[in-house]
Structure 1
Amino acid sequence: MARLRDIVIDCKHPASLARFWAALLDDYEIAPYDDAELARLGIDSPEDDPSVLLQRLDGGAPRIFLTRVPEPKTVKNRVHLDVDGDVDAVLALGATLVAKYDDHDLLTDPEGNEFCVFP
């Protein structure tokens, strides 16, 4: 019936949060910018782009969009990402440890979005 296409993460500053997630996820990278497209949209710099795309290195799905929204995050996420990785390395990227559980840790990205890291 349906297939997961994209994951969208609302945020205050898409470019910096995209760099965080691209560094965290080994199989993703920030999609190349098209300067002509940015100019057509009236965007002077990739730092001001209201929606930044992370794409899988193999071109597969899902893609991840970091999209600017005006309101701040105020409550717990209803949906979050689970990743396998080294918690200390993720913390070094700028994540914050929220809680430790038997088999995983709960962290937040630099804008407060929750995700779980399984060692």
Structure 2
Amino acid sequence: MAQLHDIVIDCGHPAAVARFWAAALDAYAIAPYDDAELARLRAQGVSGPEDDPTVLIEPKDGGPRVWCQLVPERKRAKNRLHLDLRSADMAAEVSRLVAIGAVVLARHAEHCVLADPEGNEFCLFPHR
């Protein structure tokens, strides 16, 4: 039986998208860059973390990791897969997410549809 291991977000600027999702998700943070990782990036011609083509966001207490990976094309259509988030205070969370770069796409009776800074859609639901 398969288990969910990673969630991968295609994007044009992985570091910026990773910062958004690390701030959006409770108990997630961008994985630290140690000397070995910085040397590996330099060997690939990458100047540093801001230009890293694959940025890892790690959960603090288990759960799937999130990778933000560079792709050459821009987002052109509705996501075929999206994340559903939940919050105890929907209004406050929508405001917080918008303040860190999300855009509200639609408000419905039971949830809100938003997009991250590069247009990747996600939904926010209340805790039940």
Aligned twin of 2:107: 100
Aligned twin of 1:16: 16
Deviations 1:16-51 (A, max 9, x none): 111101111111111111233232332221001000
**1:117 equivalent in alignment to 2:120:** no
Query: Which of 47, 51, 55 does residue 50 from structure 2 map onto?
Result: 47
User: Match for 2:103: what amino acid?
Assistant: T
Of stretches 16-25 and 85-94 in structure 1, the one that deviates more from structure 2 is 85-94
User: Match for 1:47: what amino acid?
Assistant: E
Alignment of 1:57-76 (within 5 A): 57-58=60-61, 60-76=62-78
Q: CA shift at 1:116, angstroms?
A: 0.4
* Structure 1 gap ranges (5+): none
User: Match for 2:121: what amino acid?
Assistant: E
Aligned residues: 118
User: Match for 1:45: what amino acid?
Assistant: G
CA–CA distance in 1 between the matches of 2:40 and 2:82? 34
Instruction: Report the RMSD for the aligned CA atoms in angstroms.
Output: 1.1
Asked if structure 1 preserves the Cα contact closer than 8 Å seen for 2:41 and 2:52, the reply is: no
Aligned twin of 1:28: 28
The sequence identity of aligned pairs, in percent, is: 60
* Structure 2 gap ranges (5+): 88-92
User: Match for 1:111: what amino acid?
Assistant: E
CA–CA distance in 2 between the matches of 1:9 and 1:84? 19
